[in-house]
Amino acid sequence: MNDAFYIAATGMQAQQMNVETIANNLANVNTAGFKKSRVSFADMVQPAAAQSLASEVADSGVAPANTLRRAGTGVGIASLTRLFDAGELKRTDAPLDIAIQGNGFIEVTLPDGSSGFTRGGSLKAGRDGQLMTQAGMPLKSGIVIPSGAQNITITSDGRVQMNVSGQATPIEVGQIELVRFSNPAALAVQGDNLYRATEPSGEAIAGKAGEESMGFLSQGMLEASNVKMVDEMVNLMVAQRGYEASVKVVQAADEMASLINGLRK
């Protein structure tokens, strides 16, 4: 009977995590460049019990009752995966807004000197003219916008050009380079649309926009969140029903325990 309480509790805990993840997705439905998350569930099988079950079934063809009882211990979170499906492109016409059409990330320098990576392409020029994100993280490429610059143009391959006073022809001040990962879903989330590389994600692979599946840059546009309201609401209802089912298991187990205690009297 205690197993029923434990199994139901793991179910409620897992569905609570699922609801929190869906809530975070819905809260960021209007966040530019946001990538939604998905919770994957797994049966909490004890390794020793699973091996014993496999060997005993292989020997006799029938698994003993005690082994079956020890094999299943509820449900757990297998993984929390970030989905990097492309979001819809929205036009802003701001010269320092760029959207990545592909798998690439923009590399920035974090306050501790390490590298961070972002898909959010809303940039600005700092006090010293250095090109940075809205959160104040300078681009790794170290591009500086001179004072008085006009008609800033960012080409599809990342070259930054502009007109400055005293020169008739546009000048090029640098190129925005992109990086990609072999497993972007394993990147560590840092907030503000920033990610860090991890061992499962692999090291950042540098390249130029338009090369090696990096994708192209579109000036004056931003990538919208890839959260779909309808899908998230359906997932929320499914998670709620799953939580309610686990609650009913607890109630049924409690009623059975009460009946057993009554028989003992």
Q: How confident is the model at residue 6 (pLDDT cuts 50, 70, 90)?
A: confident
Decide if pLDDT at 71 tops 70. Answer: no
| pLDDT for res 56 | 55
What is the distance between the alpha carbons of residues 139 and 143, in angstroms, rounded to a whole number? 7
Tens of pLDDT, residue by residue over 156-205, are: 888 999 888 777 788 888 899 899 998 998 888 888 888 999 998 889 98
Task: Spell out the domain ranges in the chain.
Answer: 2-83+228-264, 89-223
Q: What percent of the chain has pLDDT over 90?
A: 29
Are 93 and 30 a contacting pair, CB within 8 Å?
Answer: no
Tens of pLDDT, residue by residue over 98-146, are: 999 888 899 999 988 899 999 877 888 888 888 989 888 999 888 888 8
3-state secondary structure labels for all residues of 24-64: HHHHCCCCCCCCCEEEEEEEEECHHHHHHHHHHHHHHCCCC
